[in-house]
A and B are shown apart, each in its own frame.
Chain A
Amino acid sequence: MTDPDTRPTKQIRFYQAGSFAVGNRLLSPDERTVQARTERSNTLTSGHRACQGCGEALGARYALDAAMRATDGQLIATNATGCLEVFSTPYPESSWQMPWIHSLFGNAPAVATGVAAALKAKGRTDVRVVGQGGDGGTLDIGFACLSGMFERNDDVLFICYDNEAYMNTGVQRSGATPPAARTSTTKPVGEEPGNVFGQGKNAPLIAMAHEIPYVATATVAELRDLEEKVTRAMAIRGARYLHVFVPCPLGWGAASHDTIRLARLVKETGLFPVFEARDGEVTEVSKIRRRVPVEEYLVLQRRYAHLFKPKRNEAVLTRLQEMADRNIRRYGLLPEGGEAAGLPGDAGAAAGLEEVRAAVAGEAAVRPTPGPGLLRTIAGAPRGLR
C-alpha cells in the first residue's frame, strides 16, 4: 500500500457528470473507502443507542474504522463523558469492539497520555492510542489536559466530535456553540437572541499554535476525506488533533435525514473551513465546490429559527454571513478563478477538471515554504478538487 502521505492528492473522479452525486461504485476494490469494505472493523458496532441521524455516531464509526485499518487493529481508545460514551455503553452492553476506557469528563486526553506512556514503557510501540470526546469535553472542561498532551507531544491522536453544545445533558451551550444558536442556556429571549457573538474558541488553530505534527478538520459529509485524514494521522507519531463537525438532529432541531446535508452545507457556506496543518502551518485546504449563502444552512435548523420568525433578524444574519466570508478570505476556501458555477460538466467545472488532470499527471503535493503568519501559506497550497 503506498504511503498515503506522498500519493498525489487526487486521482479519482468522484462526481458523476450532470449531478452532485458522489459515489465510488466504479472504483477498483483496493481504492474503496474503509466503510465500503466488508472486512471493516465495525469498531463501534450496531446496537448502540444513538439518536436517529446522529452525526457523532457516524463520525466515530468512520474515524475509528479507518484508524483500526491503519494500525492493523492495534488500537486503544479513551473516551470523555458525553453522548458517545453514554450511547455506546448502555449497561450492561458495550458496542465497542476495541479496548476502550471511559474515565471522566475532563481527562480523556490525559488518560490517553497515560495509555501511551504505559505502552511505551512496555515496548508496545505497535499499539497506538486515540482519545476522543465531544466539544464540551475537549474544548471546555478537558482543555487543560488537551493542551498538556499537545505540549508534551504525546503519541496520541485526539478526535473532537463537535456538535456545538453539551448535548448529552440537554443541549447546553459550550465554548464551541456558534453565535446566535439557541441552546437551553442561550434561549432566544432578550437583547441578544441565542448565543452571544463571543470570541469563539478555535480549537484547530489553538492546536496549531502548539505546533503539533498534525491538525485537521473534517465533516461527516466527506467520508473519504475523513478516512484519509485519520489514516494520514496514524502514520505520524506525536500529538495529533482532528476536529470533526458532526450535526446533532435532536440538539439542533434538524431533520434526522439532513445530517449529511448539514455537514456539506456548513463547509460550502464557509462557516466550517476544512483543512490540514503540519507543525503549526496550514498545508492543505479543501475548497468549496459550490458556495452557498449561510441562510441555506441555517434554515434547516430550529436552533436558528428565531433569526427568521416572527421576522428576519437581518443584523445577525449579516454578521453570520460576514463570519463565513471572513473564513473564505482567511483560509482561501474558494478555488482560484472563482467558484465553479453550476454543475460539473459545465464550462466552469471544466477549469476544475484541468486541475484534476494536472494532479493525476503526476504533480506530487508540494509543501509550501513556511512564511510568516499561519495562513499565508495557503497561497501556495495545492488545489484539490474535493
Chain B
Amino acid sequence: MLEQLEGSQAVARTVALCRPEVICAYPISPQTHIVEALSDIVRSGELAPCEFINVESEFAAMSVAIGASATGARAYTATASQGLLYMAEALYNASGLGLPIVMTIANRAIGAPINIWNDHSDSMSQRDSGWIQLYAETNQEAADLHVQAFRLAEEVSLPVMVCMDGFILTHAVERIDLPRAEQVDAFLPSFEPRQVLDPAEPVSIGAMVGPEAFMEVRYLAHAKQMQALDLIPQIADEFEAAFGRASGGLLRRYRSDDAETIVVALGSVLGTIEDVVDELREQGMSIGAVGLKAFRPFPLEEVRAALGHAKRVVVLEKALAVGIGGIVSANVRLALSGIQLHGSTVVAGLGGRPITAASLHGLFTRAAADELGPLEFLDLDWDSVEQELRRMRESTRSGPHAENMLRDVGTVASRSH
C-alpha cells in the first residue's frame, strides 16, 4: 500500500506489523519519531498484546529487551549515537547470550563534540559486538529490513541492528509501499525461542564460562554470523518473492560489473552516488558503485567478486577510525587480499556535513585520473584545521577546539575583550 510518509513513521508501522511483544524505548535524536509512533500504536490497541516500556536509560532499554527476549517475547528497541554507547555492555551481553533482539539505529555522530547529525560512527563503533548489522539505502529498504531482521535474528539466534541514516532518512517524507499485515504474518512466523525462562523447564542463562570453554562459546557467535552470510540473501530472495521488491541482501551492484572505477559505500549516500555515476557514465567514464547492505557479517567473498576486476576502488565512508583512517575500507581491503588495484579511502559526511553531487562529481573525476591518495577527506576545511593547529602551537591555553573553530566559521560570537 503506497503512502507518502516520514521514514520514522514507515519504520514504526512496519515494526508494529512484526508483532513485537515488548518495546522498550529511551528517547534520543533522531530516533524519537519512531518510538513516539510505536507508543501511539500500542496505546491505541492497534498493536496488542505488547508492553511499551519507557525506560530510564539506553542501558536499561537493552537490559529490558534482554529480559523480555530471554522470556520468549519478541523484543524491539531503537537508539543512536551516545545511546548506543551507553548500552555497549548490554549489546555484547545480548549477542553473547544469543538473544534475537532487533534494534533500529538512527545513525548519528558520536561526541565530543556533541553533534546530532548523521554519520556512521555509532554503529561502526559496535561492529564487533556480535550484532548483525544491516544498512538501509532508502526508507523503503529501512522498513523492509526490519521484517527481514526479525526473521533473520530468530533463525540464527543473534540480535540484529538495522541502520538508517539519522535525519536524512528518519525525517525524510517519501513514497513508501507499506506491507499489509497478512503479508508480514505469512513471512514472519511467531517467535520460537531457542532458550527460554520457563518454570516448567528451568534453565540457568548467563553462567560464567571459564578458559575451558569460552573460546568455543565465542566461536559459536562467529559461526552463527557465518550462517547469516547464507541466510541474508536467502531471506532477501524470499522477501522479494513475497513482497514484490528487492530489499536487503548482502550488497547491491550498480553498473559495476564492467566498471574500472568502483565506489563502495553504505546507506543513503548511495542514492546520490548512483545519480553521479549515471552522469559520469554519460560522459564516458567507466564507473559503478557497490552498496554494502550487510556490514556484519562482512561478505568477504561477495565483495571480492564485485570489486576484484576493477582498476581502482574508492571507499566512501561516513566514519573515521581516529589514528588510522578508514573502517569500511579496512574491511574491504581484507576482501581484496592479494588483488592489485588502486584503493582510496574517502572520509565524508562526518557529523552531518552534506555530501553533494557536485563534490562527488569532482571526487570521482579525480579518482578516475588516479589523483586520490590513500586517505582523503571530502570537503574538509583545511584552513580551519591549520588555524587551530597553529593556535595549539602558539599557546598551551589555546582553548576548546570546537569553540575556537566555530568562532572562525562565525557561528560563535567573538570574545569580549
Contact = CB atoms under 8 A, between A and B. Distances in A.
Please tell me whether chains A and B touch each other in their complex, using a CB distance cut-off of 8 A.
Answer: yes
Interface of A: 73-76, 78-79, 85-86, 89-92, 94, 96-104, 106-107, 110-123, 127, 144-145, 147-148, 151-152
Contact of A145 (B51, B60, B97, B197): B60
Interface in B21-64: 21-22, 24, 49-51, 53-57, 59-60, 63-64
Interface in B52-92: 53-57, 59-60, 63-73, 75, 89-90
Given A91-B210, A114-B67, A120-B51, A99 B199 contact: yes
B207 A102 contact: yes
B381 interface: no
Contacts of B64: 110-111, 113-114, 117
B56 A101 contact: no
A115 to B, nearest CB: 4
A100 B202 contact: yes
A34 B196 CA distance: 28
B244 interface: no
Contact of A117 (B56, B73, B206, B213): B73
Given A100-B202, A102-B207, A118-B22, A112 B56 contact: no
B21 A122 contact: yes
Contact of B60 (A89, A97, A107): A107
B409 interface: no
A323 B210 CA distance: 44
B121 to A, nearest CB: 24
Contact of B199 (A74, A92, A152): A74
A75 B206 CA distance: 17
A144 B56 contact: yes
Contacts of A152: 53-54
A158 to B, nearest CB: 13
Contacts of B59: 106-107, 110, 144-145
Contacts of A148: 55-57, 60
A373 to B, nearest CB: 28
Given A110-B60, A145-B63, 12 more contacts: A89-B207, A90-B208, A91-B208, A99-B199, A102-B206, A103-B67, A104-B63, A107-B63, A119-B71, A121-B49, A144-B57, A145-B56
B53 A118 contact: no
Interface residues of B, number: 45
Contact of B204 (A100, A114, A123): A100
A151 B56 contact: yes
A147 B199 CA distance: 27
Contact of A92 (B22, B57, B213): B213
A291 B208 CA distance: 43
B53 A73 contact: no
B93 interface: yes
Given A104-B93, A122-B21, A94 B204 contact: yes
A73 B199 CA distance: 7
Of the listed residues A107, A112, A121, A148, the one surrounded by the most CB atoms of chain B closer than 10 A to its CB is A121
B133 to A, nearest CB: 22
B198 to A, nearest CB: 6
B209 interface: yes
B51 A94 contact: no
B24 A114 contact: yes
Interface string B208-230: 11101100000000000000000
A191 B49 CA distance: 60
B203 interface: yes
B51 A121 contact: yes
B322 interface: no
B202 A114 contact: no
Nearest to B49: A121
B197 A76 contact: yes
Q: Which 10 A-B pairs have the closest CB atoms?
A: A114-B67, A148-B56, A118-B73, A102-B206, A110-B63, A107-B63, A118-B71, A89-B207, A111-B67, A94-B204
B205 interface: yes
Interface of A is mostly: mixed
11 contacts: A89-B208, A98-B202, A100-B204, A103-B90, A103-B206, A114-B69, A115-B67, A115-B70, A121-B22, A147-B56, A148-B56
Of the listed residues B56, B67, B69, the one surrounded by the most CB atoms of chain A closer than 10 A to its CB is B67
Contacts of B206: 79, 85, 89, 101-103
Nearest to A123: B49
Contacts of B57: 144-145, 148
Contact of B50 (A75, A107, A121): A121
A281 to B, nearest CB: 25
A98 B200 CA distance: 9
A115 B68 contact: yes
Contacts of B203: 99-100
A113 B68 CA distance: 8
Nearest to A93: B207
B86 to A, nearest CB: 11
Nearest to A68: B199
A122 B48 CA distance: 10
Contact of A99 (B22, B198, B209): B198
B206 to A, nearest CB: 3
A88 B73 CA distance: 26
B53 A122 contact: no
A5 B202 CA distance: 30
Of the listed residues B24, B59, B208, the one surrounded by the most CB atoms of chain A closer than 10 A to its CB is B208
A242 B54 CA distance: 24
A71 to B, nearest CB: 9
A96 B210 CA distance: 19
A112 B67 contact: yes
B209 A91 contact: yes
A76 B203 CA distance: 10
A118 B72 contact: yes
A122 B205 contact: no
A148 B64 CA distance: 11
A148 B56 CA distance: 6
Contacts of B68: 114-115, 117-118, 121
Interface string B286-304: 0000000000000000000
Interface in B383-403: none
A221 B347 CA distance: 64
Given A96-B204, A103-B90, A117-B53, A127 B66 contact: no
Given A89-B204, A144-B60, A99 B72 contact: no
A114 B71 contact: yes
Contacts of B90: 103-104, 107
A151 B206 CA distance: 27
Given A76-B197, A103-B90, A110 B207 contact: no
B67 A110 contact: yes
A245 B410 CA distance: 60
A148 B57 CA distance: 9
A121 B52 CA distance: 10
B208 A122 contact: no
